[in-house]
Amino acid sequence: DFYDVEVNVSGTLIHIIGSHLKAMSGATNEQRREWEQEGIINYMDNLGSIPIVYLGDLNSFFPEDWGLNTFQSGLGYSPLSMMVSPYNNPATGGDYTAYSSIIHNWIDVYRTLNPANWGITYPNPTYKSRIDFIYVNQFLASEVINSTTGDTDHALTGSDHLTVDVFINLS
C-alpha cells in the first residue's frame, strides 16, 4: 500500500509518498515487496522529474547497512537495492538495474547524514534493525539538514517501530 500527497511549498509542488511494504520474512513475502517497490518506482517515474520524498516501513534493509540482525531476519535487501544501488551486488541479492528509476537519484537521508550510526527503527531484541526509511530525490538531496531515529517523546507510541525524522530546508 502507498499514498501520494502533493504539497505546494512557495509555488513548488513536492510529492510525499508513503508506503508500507509487505511484512514478514520468507521468499513469498520478499517477492511481494519487490513487486510493490517496482510498482512504486514506476509510479514515481511516471510523475516525471519533480521533487519527491519517499518514506515508510519498507520491511527491507538498506544495501549499505552493516551488521545488526539483517541476515538473521530474512527480510532481504532487494526493494532498497532498487532505490539506491541497483548494480550487481551478490551480497544483497543481485542486479536490480532493470527495476530501478530511470529519472530519480535517491538518497537515504538518515544514512547519508549519520554514516557511523545504526539508526535502529525496529527495536525488537531478536531482529534489532533499520527497516523504516526516508528517501529524497535529487531535487531535495542538497536541502536535507538533519535526520534522526527514535529520539522523539513518543517514538514508540502507536507502533512497534521507532520514528525516523528529517528536516529539509524548503525556503
Please write the tens of the pLDDT for every residue from 63-74.
777 665 555 567
pLDDT per residue as tens digits for the range 150-160: 887 776 676 77
Mean pLDDT across the stretch 51-65? 89
**Dihedral of CA 30/62/98/72: which sign?**
negative
pLDDT per residue as tens digits for the range 78-121: 888 888 876 666 665 678 888 899 999 999 999 999 998 888 88
Pairing between strand 132-136 and 12-20?
unpaired
Instruction: Report which of residues 156 and 41 the model is more confident about.
Output: 41
Contacts 24+ apart (CB under 8 A), 93-101: 99/34, 99/37, 99/38, 99/41, 100/41, 101/41, 101/44, 101/45
What pLDDT sits at residue 67? 60
Confidence class for position 161, pLDDT limits 50, 70, 90: confident
Mean pLDDT across the stretch 27-42? 94
What nine digits make up the cell of 3? 499514498
| Ranges 25-29, 94-98, 138-142: which has the least confidence | 94-98
DSSP state letter for 55: E
- The CATH number of 2-168 is 3.60.10.10
What pLDDT sits at residue 156? 66
